Amino acid sequence: MTLETVSTSKAHGGTLEVYKHASAATGTEMTFSVFVPPQAQVGEGAKLPMLFYLSGLTCTHANVTDKGEYRRLCAELGLVFVAPDTSPRGEGVADDPAGAYDFGLGAGFYVNATQAPFAAHYRMWDYIAQELPALVAAHFPVDPARMGITGHSMGGHGALTLGLTFPETFKSLSAFAPIVAPGQVPWGHKALGGYLGEDKALWRAHDATALVEDGKRPAGAILIDQGEADSFLAEQLRPHLFAQACEKAGVDLTLRMQPGYDHSYNFISTFMDDHLRWHAERL
């Protein structure tokens, strides 16, 4: 598959690169960023571990790329960092009729939509689970047997559901302020209902809490950081629901409630190093 270079720049001895490509999964052009650390230049054939970062509502690849503060430590650890977009985009891609921020463009929720008009392009599940990992492995010096996944908010939801469903693919798992139980919160009701229909039994495959209840298990332990001053905590995020399910199922979860921190990239960048080290230790 051909990649079109959007930009490249040097950082911490490595390179930050942005690419476009035609996606078979979404039927649209997709954009992603990748940071390739300097270890890739040491000898031919070096294969490095890689971490996928899934962004939240309204975001693109650029949010974490610009504000995530991950490059220095990725360069130190020899970790490739890949940041995809949050939804398909372009002419003919359906959006929320009212232009709401929590559905449609920028809000793909990392599912394969089955409902018209979204089913035609909103196939972010296949894109993240299959197409993008294969694409990165084909074009960059990475070891496909050493892939981890993390994300923020809606992206944390995607990371948890993909990590629980494909533990053989994603060997390490973490999240920042994830939507852990979309079947029980307004954001999830709107997104899963709109993309998958009103049969709530079908939602369980895209609900991290339900997945654990239904027997899905990650490759290893899970790390979640959650700000206690997050304005979405009580209504939309509700990490205690996931913690209860993990405790009952014997899933090794570290849930860290961080006093004073909100939902922003100030929060994410503060704890990014901890998550990078978490994944590097397991990959």
Cα gap 87→4, rounded to integer Å: 19
Is 157 part of the annotated catalytic residue set? no
Which residue in 23, 55, 87, 153 is the catalytic one? 153
For CA atoms 262, 264, 269, 275, the dihedral sign is positive
Q: Coil, strand or helix: which one is 76?
A: helix
- Residue 192's Cα: distance from chain center in Å? 17
Which residue in 61, 225, 230, 275 is the catalytic one? 230
Show the tokens assigned to 130: 């299959």
Show the tokens assigned to 270: 């503060």
Is 275 part of the annotated catalytic residue set? no
Taking residue 246's Cβ as centre, other Cβ atoms within 10 Å add up to 24
Which residue in 121, 263, 275, 279 is the catalytic one? 263
- Residue 83's Cα: distance from chain center in Å? 8
Is 263 part of the annotated catalytic residue set? yes
157 in Cβ contact with 177 (< 8 Å): no
Positions marked active-site: 153, 230, 263
